[in-house]
Structure 1
Amino acid sequence: MSILEVKEVSHSYGSSRSFWRAPKEVQVLSDVSLSIDEGTCMGLLGTSGAGKSTLGKVILGLEKPQKGQVIFQGQDLYTMDTITRKRIRRDLQVVFQDSYSSVNPRLSAEKIIGEPLENYERLSPAELQRTVAHLLDMVGLNAADMKKYPRQFSGGQLQRISIARAIALKPKMIVLDESVSSLDMVNQTNILNLLNELKSEYGLSYLFITHDIRAAYTISDALAVMEKGKIVEVCHDKNEVFSSQQPTVKNLVASILPEHPRNRTLTSRANFSANSQ
């Protein structure tokens, strides 16, 4: 059963007026359709400018599309009433790429994680503190960390804080927008393992937005590939991506470097360099 359905979504942005040119609309999404089953992870791949993050904003209710529908748990996000929207909103959370800019630097970890709980739950101060301590433990930190501020955490630790905040309300789905791309390989692996554990334990659904096919393959059950605002390939089994003949997908696969340098050909280096820019 699908927890999320995106139906023929199109969206564009207006370019600014200049002395020589009248403003015009730039199409960023064009008839995008996508569905995610309960308890699964859909990896959304594409190069920079493909429209991945804009689609993420549309799914989160942050950017109203000019055409199409976003159906979450059977409800249209853009036609539901305010009360229903608030109820549905707690089940749809997000973890952004830049963990530092996505938190208030003047708030402690306790306040950052506790904010959604204060908005939706009626907990006593003692209950709130116990819940935050439990959430910190779930993401591999400890209760003493709740008194620290963002500047006292590494990037990987702060991303764990963001994940703890995202799971605080026990959501049904989390949008992960380039959530590991700014981390080193060790922290990437640790965060991906954590996300897999949380998915298995709580039956979470993910939309994993990334340009990194290796990270997407590690965590995803299925893969969708975007190019120029369109879905150009959907692999319901992630292993299908390696046999795809779609040019964009083939370029993404070709960008994967062998682990040992001696196995890296000039072609693979060139492809990796071109696709990383």
Structure 2
Amino acid sequence: MLQVHQVSHSYGGSGWRKSKAAAGKVLDNVSFDLEPGCCLGLLGTSGAGKSTLGKIVLGLQKPASGQVTFEGFELYTKGRQGIRKVRRDLQAVFQDCYSAVNPLMTADHIIGEPLRNYERLSPAELKRRTGELLEQVGLAAEDGSKRPSQFSGGQLQRVNIARAIALKPKLIVLDEPISSLDMVHQTLILDLLSELKDSIGLSYLFITHDIQAVMTICDRVAVMDKGQIVYHTDSPSSLPSAEHEAVQRLVSAVLPQHPSLRTSWV
């Protein structure tokens, strides 16, 4: 479904600050594939290049070099018009559920936005569809009249997920979708994402620094460090025993220091 081939990207200074010294390589020759119905975890610390790669996959940031191909269509060869052809099949859920929505809109309006952009529906049909989507993510159809300030963080992230699945996309890029939530809501959102993946056949690119989250939801994991994929596995449960230094840094950030307390992970 998705092929990322030798993608590199840099951010540099501008004007009088622009120089080779100012330029920083964020991605360095990154390649991976994602199959239909799969959840690929993109795991790494802050600054590893994960979010930049997510923007490139979504068609929001043209890479300096390399190719991104979605269902045989190369995203950056035909400009914005080309990206629009696959936009409805590529959706996103971001970390900050509040900044991802217009605070003046109701949930019905937020969820219905992609439907209004891509489909011609009567007001009654649009209302019915948004109500169904709210129920699909564990909320009530009546919640459609609420504004973002009337939801908890976990509930509003469900609204964002409902918006992301409204067009029945093939791939959703999840950029730290649970990191701003408490542990109870993190678990609930991960359970919801797993259920949606199985029930409607979604594929996910799950971007996170949370090793426990990728072990819960992901089928495969690629670990990023300093703009490169340095480790990958088809067995996420094996991550705690991986010997790679970048993986062990992530493991050590979660696990107790004493090895005798790590038995539940291995």
Match of 2:246 among 240, 243, 248: 248
What is the rounded CA distance, in whole Å, between the counterparts of 2:139 and 2:21 in structure 1? 50
Contact 1:254/1:268 (CA < 8 Å) preserved in 2?
no
Matches for 1:103-122 after TM superposition, within 5 Å: 103-122=101-120
Task: State the number of aligned residues.
Answer: 261
Are residues 1:171 and 2:158 paired?
Answer: no
Please list every run of 5 or more consecutive structure 2 residues that lacks an aligned counterpart in the other structure: 262-266
Give the drift of 1:77. 0.6
Match of 2:52 among 38, 51, 54: 54
Give the drift of 1:36. 0.8
- The residue aligned with 1:27 is 25
Give the drift of 1:245. 1.6
Give the drift of 1:253. 2.1
Give the drift of 1:246. 1.0
Are residues 1:234 and 2:232 paired?
Answer: yes
Tell me the secondary structure at the aligned position of residue 56 of structure 2. helix
1:21-74, CA deviations, whole angstroms, 9 ceiling, x for partnerless residues? Answer: 887311100000011111010011100100000000010111100100001111
What is the rounded CA distance, in whole Å, between the counterparts of 2:226 and 2:20 in structure 1? 23
Contact 1:255/1:268 (CA < 8 Å) preserved in 2?
no
Contact 2:214/2:236 (CA < 8 Å) preserved in 1?
no
| TM-score, normalised via structure 2 length | 0.93
Amino acid at match of 2:173: V
- The residue aligned with 1:217 is 215
What is the rounded CA distance, in whole Å, between the counterparts of 2:218 and 2:240 in structure 1? 14
Give the drift of 1:112. 0.3
Note closer, same or farther for the CA distance 1:240–1:267 as it changes in structure 2 (3 Å cut): closer
Please list every run of 5 or more consecutive structure 1 residues that lacks an aligned counterpart in the other structure: 258-263, 270-277
Note closer, same or farther for the CA distance 1:78–1:188 as it changes in structure 2 (3 Å cut): same
- The residue aligned with 1:199 is 197
Could you tell me the percent identity over the aligned residues? 58
What is the rounded CA distance, in whole Å, between the counterparts of 1:265 and 1:177 in structure 2? 29
Contact 1:116/1:169 (CA < 8 Å) preserved in 2?
yes
Note closer, same or farther for the CA distance 1:81–1:155 as it changes in structure 2 (3 Å cut): same
1:171-200, CA deviations, whole angstroms, 9 ceiling, x for partnerless residues? Answer: 000000000000000000000000000000
Are residues 1:180 and 2:178 paired?
Answer: yes
What is the rounded CA distance, in whole Å, between the counterparts of 1:82 and 1:232 in structure 2? 32
- The residue aligned with 1:7 is 5
- The residue aligned with 2:61 is 63
1:208-247, CA deviations, whole angstroms, 9 ceiling, x for partnerless residues? Answer: 0000100111110000000010100111222342332210
What is the rounded CA distance, in whole Å, between the counterparts of 2:231 and 2:173 in structure 1? 20
What is the rounded CA distance, in whole Å, between the counterparts of 2:246 and 2:25 in structure 1? 19
Contact 2:42/2:207 (CA < 8 Å) preserved in 1?
yes
What is the rounded CA distance, in whole Å, between the counterparts of 1:61 and 1:136 in structure 2? 27
Contact 2:29/2:228 (CA < 8 Å) preserved in 1?
yes
What is the rounded CA distance, in whole Å, between the counterparts of 2:86 and 2:43 in structure 1? 26
Tell me the secondary structure at the aligned position of residue 237 of structure 2. helix
